[in-house]
């Protein structure tokens, strides 16, 4: 049954199957519930099936998050005729297998970032996406920070030449959630599951973010990676006790805790990047500043609805960073929401992501960022790892 649109015409359904239901699964579920209620979409998203290995846990999650049915094998999801799109919210180790199989089955795909754990996996996914594209099957990688209205507005200002030629980029992503050495060895701290640590988990975001805003791509890097706590207790140590006191077994952390690197962009700009999970007191702090020949702009996630903008062509006596509250109807994504000044939140970026994806599927166009974009970010991450392994030697980013 189709849902009528604003003029009463039926809107075709878009059956969605989501694999994974933890942190990202919760965020994506809210977006799937909300996108069609905030924006007029050409297709009606239906939360058809949620997939997870534990039948009891996935059934409880489906009831809580609003999914109509459950499966315990993602391969079964691909066989269902009522699923047209597969949303992948699993650890990076399974992205390539699920995504390539879904595309081969004719399902549109949304895959969380980073696209894969290795360049080889990312290349295979990009190849599968190109082949599926020829058959009208769409794919997108989930870099949600592109969908912050202030970030999208920053990109528009740069593209319009409002800061002139981009000269210098600075980007930080700071967290502190594993500062405690007793924090257990979860999957994000294991290379076999996560691929890399702070570099891939949060560094990937600022790589994509800066490339998106500037319209330039990183061509080379000079990098340093560090792991501060090299052994951690396995999950399941007694609550409230240290690993030693609980008799817990320690195992090796196989990813980085922090990543620092310099970069050069293909438009001539230079850049600095910092991604760490050891910035005590910082919970989810992103800051990006772009300096141009005639102006500058800066974005801070902790002030998500604001953009700092400096017009360097103004008289010196009047120059200074101005605070732009990005909530006007003419700003990106705001037309579907609230009156000016009524701010949005982090979770709304996923609503925008889903809306953009559904519009592209409905129009038969290719959504962005593509798997090719995801591959390009993976190539940057790979260059960072190679540079760090080579004691910080300058390392070129491979061509996609």
Nearest to 118 by CA among 28, 184, 196: 196
CA distances from 320 to 54, 294, 299, 317 (A): 55, 13, 15, 9
Rounded distance between C-alpha atoms, residue 68 and residue 37, angstroms:
18
**Domain boundary, last residue among 125, 144, 163:** 144
Nearest to 344 by CA among 173, 209, 148, 156: 148
pLDDT of the residue at 248: 72
Same domain, 273 and 226: yes
**Domain boundary, last residue among 94, 125, 144:** 144
Exposure of 272 by Cβ count < 10 A (0-12 exposed, 13-18 middle, 19+ buried)? middle
pLDDT of the residue at 5: 58
- DSSP helix/strand/coil, 106: coil
Q: How many Cα atoms occupy the beta-carbon half-sphere of 133 within 13 Å?
A: 15
Nearest to 376 by CA among 53, 82, 129, 102: 129
CATH label of the domain that carries residue 170: 3.30.360.10
Nearest to 188 by CA among 58, 23, 75: 23
The pLDDT profile of the chain, 400 residues, written as one tens digit per residue, is 556 655 566 899 999 999 999 999 999 999 999 999 999 999 999 999 999 999 999 999 999 999 999 999 999 999 999 999 999 999 999 999 999 999 999 999 999 999 999 999 999 999 999 999 999 999 999 999 999 999 999 999 999 999 999 999 999 999 999 999 999 999 999 999 999 999 999 999 999 999 999 999 999 999 999 999 999 999 975 444 455 544 579 999 999 999 999 999 999 999 999 999 999 999 999 999 999 999 999 999 999 999 999 999 999 999 999 999 999 999 999 999 999 999 999 999 999 999 999 999 999 999 999 999 999 999 999 999 999 999 999 999 999 8
- Measure the CA angle with vertex 2, ends 37 and 15; round to 5°: 75
Rounded distance between C-alpha atoms, residue 31 and residue 37, angstroms:
10
User: How many other CB atoms are there within 10 angstroms of residue 22's CB atom?
Assistant: 14
Same domain, 86 and 151: no
Same domain, 154 and 92: no
Same domain, 308 and 178: yes
Q: How many Cα atoms occupy the beta-carbon half-sphere of 214 within 13 Å?
A: 31
Rounded distance between C-alpha atoms, residue 113 and residue 218, angstroms:
18
Same domain, 103 and 240: no
Same domain, 135 and 177: no
Same domain, 183 and 164: yes
- DSSP helix/strand/coil, 71: strand
pLDDT of the residue at 8: 61
pLDDT of the residue at 236: 77
CATH label of the domain that carries residue 37: 3.40.50.720
Rounded distance between C-alpha atoms, residue 377 and residue 199, angstroms:
11
Same domain, 7 and 47: yes
Q: How many Cα atoms occupy the beta-carbon half-sphere of 149 within 13 Å?
A: 27
Rounded distance between C-alpha atoms, residue 269 and residue 218, angstroms:
9
Extended strands (E) in the chain: 3-4, 10-11, 13-19, 44-51, 69-71, 85-88, 108-112, 139-142, 166-174, 218-226, 231-233, 250-252, 258-265, 270-276, 285-292, 295-300, 306-311, 322-325, 395-396
Q: How many Cα atoms occupy the beta-carbon half-sphere of 369 within 13 Å?
A: 29
Same domain, 56 and 171: no
**Domain boundary, last residue among 107, 124, 144:** 144
Instruction: Note down the domain range covering 259.
Output: 146-396
Same domain, 31 and 117: yes
CA distances from 147 to 159, 240, 247, 343, 359 (A): 16, 39, 46, 14, 14
Q: Which residues of 352-391 are buried (b: 16+ CB within 10 A; e: fewer)?
A: bbbbbbbbbbbeeeebebbbbbbbbbbbbbbbbbbbbeee
Q: Report the number of distinct structural domains present in the chain.
A: 2
């Amino acid at each position: 049954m189709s849902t009528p649109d604003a003029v009463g015409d039926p809107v075709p359904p878009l059956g969605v199957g989501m694999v994974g239901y933890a942190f990202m699964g919760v965020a994506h579920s809210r977006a799937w519930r909300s996108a069609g209620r905030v924006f007029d979409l050409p297709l009606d998203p239906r939360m058809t099936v949620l997939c997870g290995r534990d039948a009891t846990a996935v059934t409880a999650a489906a009831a809580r998050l609003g999914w109509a049915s459950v499966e315990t094998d993602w391969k079964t999801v691909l066989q269902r005729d009522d699923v047209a799109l597969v949303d992948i919210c699993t650890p990076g180790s399974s992205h390539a297998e699920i995504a390539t199989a879904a595309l081969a089955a004719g399902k549109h795909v949304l895959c969380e970032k980073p696209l894969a754990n290795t360049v080889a996996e990312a290349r295979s996914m990009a190849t599968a996406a190109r082949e599926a594209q020829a058959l009208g099957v769409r794919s997108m990688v989930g870099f949600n920070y592109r969908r912050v209205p202030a970030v999208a507005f920053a990109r528009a200002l740069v593209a319009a030449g409002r800061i002139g030629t981009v000269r210098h980029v600075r980007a930080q992503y700071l967290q502190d959630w594993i500062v405690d050495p007793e924090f257990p060895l979860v999957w994000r701290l294991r290379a076999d599951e996560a691929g890399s640590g702070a570099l891939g988990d949060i560094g990937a975001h600022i790589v994509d973010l800066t490339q998106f805003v500037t319209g330039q791509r990183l061509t080379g890097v000079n990098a340093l990676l560090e792991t501060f706590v090299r052994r951690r207790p396995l999950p399941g140590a007694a609550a409230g006790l240290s690993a030693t006191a609980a008799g817990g077994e320690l195992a090796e952390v196989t990813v980085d805790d922090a990543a620092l690197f310099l970069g050069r962009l293909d438009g001539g700009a230079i850049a600095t990047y910092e991604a760490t999970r050891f910035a005590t007191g910082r919970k989810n702090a992103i800051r990006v500043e772009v300096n141009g020949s005639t102006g500058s702009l800066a974005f801070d996630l902790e002030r998500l609805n604001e953009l700092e903008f400096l017009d360097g062509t103004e008289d010196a006596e009047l120059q200074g960073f101005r605070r732009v509250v990005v909530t006007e109807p003419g700003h990106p994504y705001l037309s579907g929401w609230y009156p000016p000044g009524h701010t949005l939140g982090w979770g709304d970026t996923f609503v925008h992501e889903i809306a953009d994806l559904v519009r592209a599927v409905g129009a038969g166009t290719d959504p962005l960022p593509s798997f090719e974009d995801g591959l390009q970010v993976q190539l940057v991450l790979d260059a960072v790892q190679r540079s760090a392994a080579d004691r910080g030697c300058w390392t070129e980013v491979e061509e996609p």
